[in-house]
Amino acid sequence: MKTVLCFVAMCVALTASRDPTETYPRTAVLDSKLQIFWKFNATHITIETHLSAGGWTGLGLTSNASESSDVIIGYVEHNKGVIADYHYAGHQPPTKDASQDVTLVYAHSDNEGSVMVFVRALDTGDIQDDIAIHPGINHVIWAYTEIDPTNLAYHDVHRGGADIKLLDKCQPSVGK
């Protein structure tokens, strides 16, 4: 299940059915229905998620997905987005962090699925529940559901993990 994904230097739509809201330097296809695009600067990462389904989207960082992960879960319904910062102990519903360290900056939904753009600090400073994003390989986990986004239901087979080079040391893009 663990896949090594190479980031692409230019924003190339690999299987996406829609274009991202702006040109991002990085993208990864996590699943036939889930693609992410991202950019970063010295302090923050901006991530755009494209889900070709009607449920919630979850994206997280982990050292061990069965034990402890830092996840962000969001959904868009009637163009209104909802997002939150969670702690996922594995195989059970995640719990919301006391410190909410994610900001939703764009949300869109239509009959093709949903798009969210959110920003978080590379290191939120929440040592209780968050994992800092570091240069090089980060183990990313993802999950989604196909329907009923407001219900944080079990993802079933729609989950996975990937080793992704989220950041590198050369030429970070400017702006949040």
Least CB distance to ligand HEM at residue 92 (A): 6
Chain residues that interact with ligand HEM, rule: CB under 6 A: 58-60, 65-66, 71, 73, 88, 90-94, 141-143, 152, 154-155, 159-161
Least CB distance to ligand HEM at residue 72 (A): 8
Q: Write b or e for each residue in 121-144: b if 16 or more Cβ atoms lie within 10 A of its Cβ, otherwise e.
A: bbebebeebbbebeeeebbbbbbb
Task: CB nearer to ligand HEM: give 92 or 128.
Answer: 92
**Tokens standing for residue 72:** 């962000």
Task: CB nearer to ligand HEM: give 59 or 164.
Answer: 59
- Pair type for strands 3-5 and 159-167: parallel
Task: CB nearer to ligand HEM: give 11 or 75.
Answer: 75
Task: CB nearer to ligand HEM: give 11 or 60.
Answer: 60
Residue whose Cβ sits closest to ligand HEM: 58
Beta bridge partners of 143: 58, 159
Least CB distance to ligand HEM at residue 57 (A): 8
The DSSP secondary structure of 6-54, one letter per residue, reads ---SS---SS-SS--SS--SEEEEEETTEEEEEEE-SSEEEEEEEESSS
